[in-house]
Amino acid sequence: MTLWNGSYPFYPGPNACFPFDTTQSVIVTIFLSMLVTFVIILPGIRGRGRLFWFLRLVLGLFMGAVVLTVQFTRDWETGWVQANTSYKSFSPVQVNVDIGLHIGLAGVNITLRGNPVNQINETINYNEHFPWNFGADYDRSYSEGLKKGLPSPILYVAEKFSTQSPCAVHRQYRIAGHYVSFTLWLAFCTWLTSILLFSMSILLYGGHMLLLTATLILFSLLFFFTARNTPKCPIQFGPVSLRTDYGESFWLTLATGLLCLLLGLSIVILNSVHPEKLKFIFSLDKSSEKEVWDKSRLPDEPSCSAQDVLIVPLGELCQVTATQL
């Protein structure tokens, strides 16, 4: 048994894992609640229009949820590496860890997980966030990490994205994140406008707004693409290096943009080529809703001709009571 249980006194205990993002959970809960609410009333829709109505509902909510959620995700660009590296500064102790880098629109997340988790009498399981969004100071967060005594691998990776780093990638990622976020907010507004236009049965302009939504989403991906393809310094851990690639949020946003583009083009083309089919898809074909009566099931009507005359006595039509004054 050694002094301080084998750890340095100026290093605090291991930091807890980064908690689950409540913003994403709230957004997903809201959209799922809307979906469940509309599914409950689905049996009230008659005929084949029920299927088309359900498809429009699912696709519309999916696009809106994705455009809003990716604003707060932290996996636009991700990378993992397993390495044997020093755990603390001025210490020759080597640990076997998994190091992860997760780049989002508002900052970076750096993950450090031991293999196994319990090594050198400590629990190695960190997930630190260093923000660069509006109102946040990345260098200050990095300085606080130094004061807290975060493990050396986390500080080494975080230093690559600081403003003082010779890599000079902080400015590119920060500006690109701001432009991507602004463009996605515009895309969310155009998506809302398209939903309103479809609900008002203005299908052509709704399709145009979907095309505008797709254009904004694809432009946001272009902004992030330019930032990612800037030259970077290698993040080296001995013989291995930490390399990143596009994350789930990037590919999900790309799929949503292509889906908006496909649906918008389909609506515009159908409106000019087969407007009746487009109205049928949106349950606007009133002729399909008219009921066809089977005359064979109706009671036989008495035949009459023009010569038939109905004579009713005058007393039966009107009865007048006179009162003598």
pLDDT tens, residue by residue, 137-196: 899 999 999 998 899 999 999 999 998 888 888 888 999 999 999 999 999 999 999 999
Q: Are residues 160 and 188 in the same domain?
A: no
Grouping H, G, I as helix, E, B as strand and the rest as coil, residue 121 is: coil
Of 112, 84, 90, residue with least CA distance to 15: 112
Contact 77, 245 (CB under 8 A): yes
Q: Are residues 141 and 220 in the same domain?
A: no
Q: HEC profile for 133-172? A: CCCCCHHHHHHHHHHHCCCHHHHHHHHCCCCCCCCCCHHH
For 110, the domain range is 77-169
Residue that terminates a domain, selected from 169, 201, 221: 169
Greater model confidence, 178 or 2: 178
Tell me how crowded residue 161 is: count the other CB atoms within 10 A of its CB.
Answer: 23
Quote the tokens at residue 39. 């599914």
The mean-pLDDT minimum among 112-121, 199-208, 217-226, 274-283 falls in 274-283
The CA distance from 304 to 309, in Å, is: 9
pLDDT score at 113 = 93
Specify the residue for token string 């109102």.
Answer: 135
The CA distance from 252 to 247, in Å, is: 9
pLDDT tens, residue by residue, 226-252: 888 777 788 889 889 999 999 999 999
Cis? peptide before 239, omega within 30° of 0: no
Most confident of 165-179, 207-221, 298-312: 207-221
Q: Are residues 177 and 275 in the same domain?
A: yes
Does 240 map to a domain?
Answer: no
The CA distance from 95 to 83, in Å, is: 8
Residue that terminates a domain, selected from 138, 169, 200: 169
Q: Are residues 183 and 144 in the same domain?
A: no
Q: Are residues 184 and 103 in the same domain?
A: no
Q: Are residues 38 and 153 in the same domain?
A: no
Which amino acid type is present at position 171? R
